[in-house]
Structure formats: structure tokens, C-alpha cells
Structure 1
């Protein structure tokens, strides 16, 4: 990669986002990284050791103001890659969840993500060059009980990525959807799901997931499901009635299902 190329990575303080930022730095991209927590500044210091320029932006990307703050930090620099990874999870039954938390999930996973893609995507389209990686999930294939709003948000992103890719066909701008399964990050703890089977079972490593998505983005692929187990799950989900899928997931995500 050219040392002058710029990548934006959101949700880059921990987990898959952090590892996506690391992949970009290892490939020679300069970075603007964003998260809604002060830790993003320490991440920037670490990534600069890889020999690239890194600017950290602490912003709430569930708001238009937060996205505007990130875009202001980018300024008029051309965006070569946007890795739209910011997202939050939420466990427990839908009617037991605080609605403010549900709204925050939707604003972060969907509204803020689309606003950022709209802004960066238009800049790319004007130059007829750029790569967009959207972190979706295999969760988007399954109507998961006790993660109803989260899975619906990922179904939205999965669907959106394929539609946007087609709209941008032959434009010079590619769209890739990274669809991981359960990954070893802070996600389940932050979602309040450490008393569930899915929250406590063995998970895929964040760097391997990020590297697979990053490489797929560079190749201009439409999507990548990481891990053989997850590939099998998505194949089975395509031929299984949604009612049965939702019932099966109760055993994974209902509070109190963690193994003692």
C-alpha cells in the first residue's frame, strides 16, 4: 500500500475494530480511528509504532454530531478505505430491555453507520476509487430470540451491503461485508450476556476475523463469512424455518443458560 493512503476505522478501541486498524497499519495505511471511549488515544499510540500516521477521534457515532466530528478530522483528504465497524450489542428479552438502550443500538449500528457511509461513499464516488468494509454478522441470517434488536440490526447491514455494492458496480468503489460469528471480544460482556451459553462458550479470535475481512476488502469481494462452523450455520439457516431458528437460539442466549 502507498504510505499516502488513508483508512478510517470505527469502533477501533477494542475487538475486531482494533484488529482491523492493526491490519490497515501493517499494510501501510495512515489511519483515522474512532471510538466512543478515551481508550482510543492509547490505541493510536500503539499503532503509531507500526510506522504509520494515526489520528484518534473520540466521538459518539450513534449521533450525527459524532459522525460529523469524525469527518471533520478527516477533512478534505481522500478516503481510500472505510472500515465501518462501530456497533453495540444487547442481550435479554426485548420487552425487558430499556428502550433508550434499544434506540442507542439502532442509532449506532444502523443510523450512524449509514450516515458515515453516505458521507465517505460520496467522496469515493467522486474520485471513482475506494473500498468500504461493513462489519455485519452471521447473526443477520437468524432471528435470534433474546438478541432480537441486535440481530435485526445486523440483518439490515448484511442486506444493505449487498444492495450498495450493486449500486456501485463498475464505479471503482467496492463494498465488502464481513460476517463473523461469535468472536472473542468485549461484546458479550458489554451486552450483559455473560450469564448465557453463547456469552461463555469458545469463540473465534478477533485478529483472525479482522484479517479475513481486511483481505476480502482488498480483493474487492462481496462478503466473507469467517470460520467453517459459521459457514455451516449460515447454510443451515437458509433452509431452516425462521420460527425454529428463533426457538433454537433461546438455548444459546436466554439469561441463565451459561454452563456452570
Structure 2
């Protein structure tokens, strides 16, 4: 019998990329799944995950809205959530003053407001029964002022800090909080963030989402508070605390500034 047969895992941003790989690992471990994303591909993901022999319920909802969070919460109903993997998020490239403000606000609404709203609901349930595991997808970029990705990096700085604070608040309980801090990963992120015209978007050295998800999942099961996937990302997180922010911002600019002549 699988290690977690019959237990329930809720995974957001699970249609593709890291979120899908997290859901796949959880399914292989025996969890029943409630998966959520704001796109039709979530149904395709659910179909593939059911082939692994577990129960999968797909919810299509925008977690950057109160209605979206409520829709997911309604789907969970009164079931016990053993694991929450809050992975939903979006990026936005190019200079802040050149961005549509509604799009920038949507990044904050999903990455920050939607995440903490869901964690608040499910976290209370976990605390009441003194059991549960929470994995929040932050980012290594949360340690770096994100020139030409300013709003996104700011939201990830919030999540990195929030995760550590919540873990401390729950340290005397059996509820654990882990923050996964990936670097650039080979997913749909850069296309959706309008960053295919940037050096980082065009790089061929991005991390494998399967390996990133495995690092996060294993750290969550071990109760580890933070995990930076990949050797270079671990090095980068260490040096981010040493190098002045102005230099970090310039370094980030070299990765994220659109190349002249390319189309955003």
C-alpha cells in the first residue's frame, strides 16, 4: 500500500510545470488529490493523474479572486486536508512603469492574497487537529531586487518571509511549513510572463521541473523549513545575503531586461 493512501493533498497551479509534477509525486505516494488552476488544462492534468490509480478532483478557478478561493474551498468541503501545496502564481516581465497596472495587480492578487487566503483557511483546519504539511512555492528571486521583474520578485520576497514566519508560529505544533525556492525552471512561466525576449527566458540552462518538485516534496515530508533546488540556486541564495541590493538589481537586469529589437 502506498505511504499516504487515502490522505488528501490540495495542489494549486497544478495544470503544468512544478505544480503538475508535485501532484504527480503526491499521486504516486497514494494521496487523493484536489488540484486547481485557472485554465482548461487542469482537466487534462486530472485525466493523466487518474491513470496513477488515485482519486483526482479538478477545480478551474482564479485564486487571485475571492470567488476563486471560495470555489476551491467549496470543493474541499469538510474533508481533512493532510497536505497543501500552494504553488499557484504568475509572473510579469518588462519595466514596471511600462506594464499594465491591472496585470501587475493580478500578480499580487494571485501570488500573495490568494496564497495566504488559502493557507489561512486550510492552516486553521490543520492547527485545530494538530497535524498537516504546507508547502509554499516561493522563489530564489525573493532574495533579489527584480529589475524588469519588480512586482513578481516582490511577491516572492513576501512569500519567502511569510513562510518562515508561519513556520515559527507553528513550531510547537505538528503542522509544518516548507518554502520551496526554485530558480529559473523549464516551464510555461516565461511565456506567460511575456519574458521570451529576455536572456533568462531564452536560456537553455533552466532547471528540470520534475527535479524541483521532488526537492520541494521531500523537504516538505521531512518538515524542512526552506529548500533551494539546484546547487547554483543554493549558492545564489547565500550570496544574495552578502552582495548589496543595488548590485543584485543590476545583475537581475542583465537576465530579465528585454533584448533590443526583440518583441515582448
1:250 paired residue number: 253
2:53 to 51, 54, 60: 51
Alpha-carbon displacement from aligned partner over 1:188-210 (angstroms, at most 9, x marks no partner): 01111111101111200000000
The answer for unaligned runs of 5 or more in structure 2 is none
Alpha-carbon displacement from aligned partner over 1:57-109 (angstroms, at most 9, x marks no partner): 00010011101110111111100000000000000000000000001000000
TM-score (norm 2): 0.96
1:42 positional shift = 1.0
Counterpart check, 1:90 vs 2:92:
yes
2:10 paired residue number: 8
Give the whole-Å Cα distance in 2 for the aligned partners of 1:250 and 1:124: 41
C-alpha spacing 1:162/1:115, structure 2 compared with 1 (3 Å): same
Size of the aligned set, in residue pairs, is 259
RMSD (Å) for aligned C-alpha atoms:
1.1
Post-superposition, which runs of at least 4 consecutive aligned residues in structure 1 deviate over 2 A?
Answer: none
2:210 paired residue number: 207
TM-score (norm 1): 0.98
Query: After superposition, where does 1:73-88 map in structure 2 within 5 Å?
Result: 73-88=75-90
Give the whole-Å Cα distance in 2 for the aligned partners of 1:109 and 1:249: 20
C-alpha spacing 1:29/1:257, structure 2 compared with 1 (3 Å): farther
Alpha-carbon displacement from aligned partner over 1:152-185 (angstroms, at most 9, x marks no partner): 0000000000000000112110000000000000
Give the whole-Å Cα distance in 1 for the aligned partners of 2:9 and 2:58: 12
Q: Secondary structure at the match of 1:158?
A: helix
Give the whole-Å Cα distance in 2 for the aligned partners of 1:9 and 1:35: 9
1:249 positional shift = 1.4
Give the whole-Å Cα distance in 1 for the aligned partners of 2:6 and 2:194: 41
1:2 positional shift = 3.0
Counterpart check, 1:227 vs 2:230:
yes
Q: Secondary structure at the match of 1:92?
A: coil
1:237 to 234, 240, 250: 240
The answer for unaligned runs of 5 or more in structure 1 is none
1:248 positional shift = 1.6
Give the whole-Å Cα distance in 2 for the aligned partners of 1:97 and 1:12: 26
